[in-house]
Amino acid sequence: MKPNGGCGSCSHFLRLAVNSNLSLPLAPEVAEQVVSSGLRELNVSVDGARQETYEQYRVGGDLALVLENCRKLAAAKARCGSTTPRLNLQFVAFAHNVADADDMHRLAGELGMNLRLFKGVVPGRDWDREGKWQYCVGPIPVPCIFLWGTAVVSSDGGVLPCRGAFYREDDMGQIALDPDELGESTFRSVWNGRRFQNARRFYRARQGAAEEERHICFNCPNTVMFERWREHRARGGSRADFDVGYTLNDIWNYFWNRRPHVALRRHRTDSRIEATRPVP
């Protein structure tokens, strides 16, 4: 997708959404290029209505700069007479910033943006044990969308099973970034390869050899939950009386605490690209 150099959408076929923290200076002409690019939705992560709370999560960030960038984008939309991209403020609530929630509603209104507010996950126990705040999604007993419809590819060429994987040893395969490098030549060969096939098979029967049981997807709460759901349905149970057994925080902690037995103690820090198969 290429900006057309002026105001107006350049694509009628793609629905593109982007998450950003808008932490770098944004020139007015660049703001117009964003508006004219065909982007449908922009989620701007602003996890605090005050600098002192914002910088606890966005370390080194400048809240005033981010808000000014939001104003520039809104002004560019007005100049172009465009209804897109839809501009959202995204506020992830934690113990340290939850007191800013009311101010975030006010701030979103002043900027003319929509507010997306949900509870954040943390290592260990849920910080909101009384359940006053809601996660963006709740666990449901369905096959993992990442194994059939959403791909996550790291900038080093690693194809991840989902966005929860932290270690390269859990990658499903490697795409060669250069013809002379080791790795699969195409994404298709990884997507249809043995590790992806095993992960999908676990949703039919969660069993396998010792090596397969070490697969990141084998004990994933999503896989275990679906196995329990199938057993529940076989006994005549329904969704209404099924106990999911996990919170989103529990699922996140499975990945956070996981360490492959051959892995070095390091988490990958490279960037990732995520693509979802369009729904017909």
Query: According to the model, what pLDDT value does residue 225 have?
Result: 97
Share of the chain above pLDDT 70, in %: 85
Better pLDDT: 206 or 14: 206
- Confidence band (pLDDT; 50, 70, 90) for 24? very high
What is the number of alpha carbons within 13 Å of residue 26 lying toward its C-beta? 24
* Residue-level pLDDT at 243: 96
Q: Does residue 3 surpass a pLDDT of 50?
A: no
**pLDDT of res. 38:** 87
The residues, any chain, with a CB within 8 Å of residue 23's CB and separated by 6 or more, are: 58, 61, 62, 65, 66
Model confidence at 60, pLDDT cuts 50, 70, 90, reads very high
Q: State what percent of residues in the chain have pLDDT above 90.
A: 71
Helix (H, G, I), strand (E, B) or coil at 29: helix
For 195-235, the pLDDT digits (tens) are 999 999 999 999 989 999 999 999 999 999 999 999 999 99
Alpha-carbon 41 to chain mean position: 15
* Position 236 confidence tier, pLDDT thresholds 50, 70, 90: very high
- Split at pLDDT 50, 70, 90, the class of 154 is confident
pLDDT reading at 1 higher than 60 = no
Residue 41 has pLDDT above 70, yes or no: yes
Which of the 8 DSSP states describes residue 184?
B
